[in-house]
A and B are shown apart, each in its own frame.
Chain A
Amino acid sequence: DGGITQSPKYLFRKEGQNVTLSCEQNLNHDAMYWYRQDPGQGLRLIYYSQIVNDFQKGDIAEGYSVSREKKESFPLTVTSAQKNPTAFYLCASLGRLIGNTIYFGEGSWLTVV
């Protein structure tokens, strides 16, 4: 089935450690995004990528890094510089050929312990 796969679903991290969240899509979409969601709040854009080997900062990029080496993959690294990393992280991709709709993965919960 076509879709966006995020892993892991739940992740615990000790303070001072980096952690990488995986996002893979088999929809042949060019653009991919990472959003952060805090409880009771809307989603905020962290990074986005429109093509392979290119990505742009979103509204809250500090403390995060990404790469886009393959069209289908857009991993997000939460670094130790992110002061408040506990949140729900959502990966998304854009289907321009089907009404310019952004589709979301199931999300990853990151908890800093």
Chain B
Amino acid sequence: AQSVTQLDSQVPVFEEAPVELRCNYSSSVSVYLFWYVQYPNQGLQLLLKYLSGSTLVKGINGFEAEFNKSQTSFHLRKPSVHISDTAEYFCAVSDLQGAQKLVFGQGTRLTINP
């Protein structure tokens, strides 16, 4: 079984500052890793994913994440945030075979202050 821990429930930052949202996972098998973003009262939108290959993954809206197998982490970063990045961010893992069910972290609420 897999589990995901998002280390911060809320992250406030000022506009144009850098941000890092932390995610650690636990699994006895290899997994795929995902970051999703959720705007108020909407579904989830995929930001980026790691399936294999390069451990630095670039996504939409200027976000990137680095897969670190030894630390079982998949932290999300953006060098300069904008007001429009205010949202809930979810880290998730899925197994490689079978149903590929997503297991989610609790979410991190990112608030951008002007």
Contacts and interface: CB of A to CB of B under 8 A. Distances in A.
Nearest to B109: A40
Q: Is the interface of A mostly helix, strand, loop or mixed?
A: strand
A50 B99 contact: yes
Contacts of A33: 101-102
A98 B106 CA distance: 26
A104 B51 contact: no
A43 interface: yes
A82 interface: no
A23 to B, nearest CB: 11
Interface residues on B, range: 20 to 34
A73 to B, nearest CB: 18
Interface residues on A, range: 20 to 34
A102 interface: yes
Contacts, number: 62
A102 B94 contact: yes
Nearest to A56: B99
Given A40-B9, A90-B43, 16 more contacts: A31-B99, A31-B100, A40-B106, A41-B106, A41-B107, A42-B4, A45-B102, A50-B98, A94-B100, A100-B51, A101-B34, A102-B34, A102-B100, A104-B43, A107-B41, A107-B42
Interface of A: 4, 6, 31, 33, 35, 40-45, 48, 50, 56, 58, 90, 92, 94, 99-107, 109
